[in-house]
Structure 1
C-alpha cells in the first residue's frame, strides 16, 4: 500500500512539474483513491487522485490522469469540507474522555498543529472553538471555524474523535446558527443575567426577592437544607439563599430557555454552563444551587465553568493567592464529585501554568480547559520572528486600539511597562511575548488588527496570513511547543 502511495505521489510531482508540495501525513485512501492536502506557493488545496465516481463528489479542477485515475486540485471550500466529513467521518462528536481541552483558533490555520499535539495525550480535543465575540471581531462564521478545523484535522492525519464548541453564546439565535452547522458542544454564557448584588441596595435586593413568582417554591426547597462534603458541612440559611436567588435566578431561567431551544433542533450534544465572566466568585452554596436547580429543570449539562477567586486575565498566568485558590478548588471539586455527572471547566485557561497541576489534582483529571487567544499570540510571535517590520506596525496600531478594545475584558494591563518597540532589535522582538503587559496588548487587540482597513483593503490581515503561510514550519513549532507546555502541566 505504501509503495503504491509513494508511486502515485511521484507521478503527481511529475504531472505538475513539482508545483505542489504534498502533506504526506494527510493522505487517506478510500476505494482505491487517494485524497490529501497539497499546497503551491500561494495556498492549500484538497487534492484527489481517484476514480471518476469519487472525483465527481468534489468541486475542483481536473488537471490530468495517473494510472487511469483522475487527478483533481480542489479548493478548501465548504462544499468540499462537507464531502470530506461524510467520507471519513470527520464530523465533531460528543466528548468521550474524562479530560477535554479546547484549543481555539482565531485565524483558522492552527488546527493541524493542535491535532499533532493532541495525538500524544489521552484527551478529548475541541478543535473548533470560537465565541460569538471572536467570530464577530475576526469577521468569521461558525461554518468558517468548523471548516478550517476539519481541514486542519485532515491535514495532520489525526484519526481520533474531536469536538466543536460554540463558545460563550448568549443568544438563542446564535445557538441555532451553530446547531445548523453541526457543532457538538454549546457553551452558554448567561452572564448578562447575573445580578451583582454588591452594587444593589438592600431594598432593591429585597424587592426582587419578595416579588419573584418562584421565590416561595424555591425557598421551601432550599432554605435550611444541609450539605456534607469531605472537608466542609454547608447549610443554606435564609440570608445566603436570598443572595444566591437574586444573583442567579435569571441565569437559571435563561439557561433553561437556551437548552430547550437546542433540544428542539439537536438530539445529542454536550452542554456547558459558564458563569465565569462575572466579578463575584462563585460560592460553594451557589455552586450547589445552580447544579441542583438546573437538574430539577431538566437541563442535562456536562461541564460547568465557575468564577474562581483571583484574576483570570487573558493570555497570562493566574494572578492571586494560589493557596487560597487551592482551598477553593478543593471544595468545588468535592461538590462536583458528590453531585456527580458533570466536570469543572476552566475558562481563560490560556497560560495558567501555575494553576494546571492544582486543577488536575483536585478534579482527578475530570476537567475541561479552554484556550483561544494564546494560539493567536504564537502566530504573531512568528510574525515578530520572521517579519519584524510587519510586527512593529501591528504593535504600534495595537497601542492605538487598546483602550477601546479592553472594554470587554477584565485586565490590569499597564502599557507603561511595554517597551518602546522602536528601541528593540529585530532579534529581540520575540522577547516581548514573555512580558505579560505586551502579551495582553497583542491578545486583546486581535479583532482591530485583523479587520483594520484603509482604502477598502486590509492593512494587516493579508500580510499576516502570507507570512504565516510562508513560515508555516516555524508557526507550527511555536504552537506545538506552547500547547505541549499546557498539556504536560495538566498531566494529560
Structure 2
C-alpha cells in the first residue's frame, strides 16, 4: 500500500494526513506536511496528465510525486473526484461556515460530519474578501483542500455571500460557486427616516412605474389563525422598503442565469433597520415569484438585535412567536428555506428557530471561527495575542463602521494586566468578542502579525481544529434539537 510505504520511508520528515488518502485509476493521492508546508503526494508510475510536481522519489517499489497545493493541481483532483466540486444544497437543512483564514475547513468538517445538516464549507462575503485580500478562487480552493484533507466525500456547498454588484456575482459564478446570496440593502429604504408626506410621494413614484396597488390591495392571508390583509398604508410601507430592493435582486438573478443554470439563490433583507413583519415577508415572496425569481433561501430581518459574535439580544418569547409565523408563511408558499444570518453564537434562539422551521432552514456563521482561532493564540502564544489585541484596539473605530455591534471599549480589560492563563477567559466578554470579531482585516493586513498567527496555528494544528470544531458543534447540536 502506497501510504504504508511512504510512512516507512518518509515518516520522520513528513506528517501524513491519513484521512486524505484516495485511490483512482491506478493512482494514490494524499496530503502530507513537511518543511515545505502541506503538499499533495501522488503515487503511480507517472503523474496524471497536467499535474505539476517539484520532486519525486522512488522507494519500496513505489514512485512518489510531490506536488504543490495549487489551483491547477486541485482542478485535476476534482476531475478524479467530483465530490470535491461544490454542489447545490436545495431544501435540505444546511449550515454555512465562513473561514476568514482559509485554513479552518478541517475543523468545520469535524463539526458537521455525521450531522443532519448539509455543510456550506466555502462561504465568504465580498466585504470579508476585501478585508482579507482573498479572492473567490482562494475561498473555494482553500475549503476544498480542507475537505480533501479530512476525507469528506458527502458533498458541500460554496456560497458567494452578500454580493451587491454584478461584477462580483459573475466572478464567483466563473470560479464554480454553487450558492449566491444577494444583498440589496443599498436599495432598501429606512421608514423611520421618512415623514408621512415623503412616504406618500415616494409611493406615488412607484405607482407611476407599476400599479402594484391593483395587485395587492385587499388581498388577504391567514397565517396560524391570524388574518393579514394589504391596506393602503401597509402596502405603501412594504413597497417603500422592498420594491427597489426586489428589482435589484431580479436584475442580479437574470445576470446569474446567463452565466450558469443550476444554483442556490438566496435573497437577503436582513441587514436593514426595519424588521421584516409577516406581511412584509409575504410581499417579498409574492414580488419575487411574480417576477419569476426562483430562490432557495430568504434571509429576513427578525425582531431583536443580531449583533456579531454574541448571543441574541431581545425578547425570546416574541422571537418564538414571530419565527413561527415566518416559518408558516414559508410552508404556505413552499419552495424555500428561512435563512438566519449573523448566526454565530445565537445559542438561545436555535431551539425555537429549528423547531419552528422544521428543518427548512439555513444558518450562517463566519466570525466565530476566527474568534476561536485567536482564542487558541491566547492559549499558546500570549504575547502574540496581546499584539493582536492592541492592533484591534488601534483599528476598532474604523473597522466597526460596517458591522452591527455595540461593543464599548471602555469596558474591555487592559490586556497587559491580564495573566497569561486568564487570557482565554477574555472571550467570555461580549465587548472583547466584538473587538476581535470586526478587526480581523486590520490584523491580517499586518504582515508580521499574520505570519506569526498562521505559524502558531500550524504548530498547534490539532488544538486549533479541536477548539473550533467543539465550538461549531455546539451550534450544530442545538439546531439538531
Indicate if the aligned counterparts of 2:99 and 2:122 stay in contact, CA closer than 8 A: yes
**Cα deviation, residue 32, structure 1:** 2.6
- What is the alpha-carbon distance in structure 2 between the residues aligned to residue 160 and residue 300 of structure 1? 26
- Which position in structure 2 is the counterpart of 1:490? 479
Deviation at 1:96, TM superposition (A): 4.7
Residue 53 of structure 1: how far off its partner (Å):
4.8
State whether residues 39 and 66 of structure 2, in contact with CA within 8 Å, keep that contact through their aligned partners in structure 1: yes
Counterpart contact for 1:52–1:69, Cα < 8 Å? no
Describe the shift of the 1:288–1:61 C-alpha distance in structure 2 as closer, same or farther (beyond 3 A). Answer: same
Is 1:96–1:124's contact at 8 Å kept on the other side of the alignment? no
- The answer to whether structure 1 residue 177 and structure 2 residue 166 are counterparts is no
**Residue 65 of structure 1: which of 58, 62, 87 is its match?**
58
Per the alignment, residue 220 of structure 1 pairs with 214
* Residue of structure 1 equivalent to 2:250: 256
Q: Compute the displacement of 1:409 (Å).
A: 1.0
| Alpha-carbon distance, 1:111 to partner | 0.5
Are residues 124 and 241 of structure 1, via their aligned partners in 2, closer, same or farther at CA, if it must alter by over 3 Å?
A: same
CA shift for structure 1 position 13: 3.5
Alignment of 1:105-254 (within 5 A): 105-212=99-206, 216-254=210-248
SS state at 1:165 partner: strand
Q: Which residue of 1 aligns with 2:305?
A: 311
1:80 pairs with 54, 67, 73, which one?
73
1:450 maps to what in 2?
Answer: 444
| Whole-angstrom distance in 2 between the partners of 1:215 and 1:204 | 17
Residues 92 and 183, structure 1, Cα contact 8 Å, conserved in 2: yes
In 1, the alpha carbon distance for the partners of 2:467 and 2:132 equals 22
8 Å contact from structure 2 (residues 89, 157) kept in 1: yes
Equivalent in the alignment of 1:425: 419
Q: 1-side partners of 2:443 and 2:13: how far apart?
A: 32
SS at match of 2:266: strand
Per-residue CA distance 1:231-252 (angstroms, 9 max, x = gap): 3110100111011111111011
CA distance in structure 2 between the partners assigned to 1:200 and 1:113 by the alignment: 47
Contact 1:97 1:124 in 2 (8 A): no
Asked whether the equivalents of residues 303 and 345 of structure 1 are also in contact (C-alpha less than 8 Å), the reply is: yes
Q: Is the 8 A contact 2:91 2:296 kept in 1?
A: no
Q: Identify which of 434, 451, 463 aligns with 1:474.
A: 463
- Is 1:25 the counterpart of 2:19? The answer is yes
Residue 460 of structure 1 aligns to a residue in which SS? helix
**What is the alpha-carbon distance in structure 2 between the residues aligned to residue 366 and residue 170 of structure 1?**
25
- Equivalence for 1:455: none
Residues 91 and 336 in structure 2, CA contact (< 8 A), matched pair in contact too: no
User: How many Å apart are 1:9 and its aligned residue?
Assistant: 2.8
Q: How much does 1:14 deviate?
A: 4.6
User: Structure 1 CA distance, aligned partners of 2:248 and 2:125?
Assistant: 18
C-alpha displacement of 1:119 = 1.2
Q: Work out the CA distance in 2 between the residues paired with 1:157 and 1:121.
A: 16
Once the 2 structures are TM-superposed, how far is the Cα of residue 188 of structure 1 from its aligned partner?
Answer: 0.2
Task: Decide which moves more: 154-163 or 77-86.
Answer: 77-86
Q: Per the alignment, do residues 375 and 175 of structure 1 end up closer, same or farther by CA in structure 2, a change over 3 Å counting?
A: same
Q: Distance in 2 between matches of 1:400 and 1:423?
A: 18
2:344 counterpart SS class = coil
Alignment RMSD (CA, Å): 1.3
- Per-residue CA deviation, residues 74-131 of structure 1 (Å, 9 max, x unaligned), is 1111111111111101110001552100011010001011112221201110000000
Contact 1:169 1:186 in 2 (8 A): yes
TM-score with structure 2 length normalisation?
Answer: 0.97
Equivalenced residue count is 480
Q: What is the rounded CA distance, in whole Å, between the counterparts of 2:69 and 2:346 in structure 1?
A: 34
Describe the shift of the 1:88–1:214 C-alpha distance in structure 2 as closer, same or farther (beyond 3 A).
Answer: farther
Unaligned runs of 5+ in 1: 453-457
Match of 1:468, SS state, is: helix
- What's the CA shift for 1:334? 1.0
Contact 2:300 2:339 (8 Å CA) reproduced: yes
Does residue 40 of structure 1 match 2:34? yes
Which whole-Å CA distance do the structure 2 matches of 1:389 and 1:330 have between them?
48
The answer to whether residue 467 in structure 2 is matched with residue 459 in structure 1 is no
Gaps spanning 5+ residues in structure 2: where?
none
Structure 2 distance, partners of 1:140, 1:121, is: 29
Residues 178-198 of structure 1: CA deviation (Å, up to 9, x unaligned): 000010000000000001121
Find the residue that maps to 1:187 and give its secondary structure.
strand
How far is the alpha carbon of 1:214 from its aligned partner?
5.4
Indicate conservation of the 8 Å contact 1:100/1:123, yes or no. yes
Distance 1:131 1:487 in 2: 22
Does the 8 A contact of 1:116 with 1:158 survive in 2?
A: no
Q: After superposition, what is the alpha-carbon deviation per residue over 1:216-240, rounded to whole angstroms, capped at 9, x for unaligned? A: 5211000110001223110100111
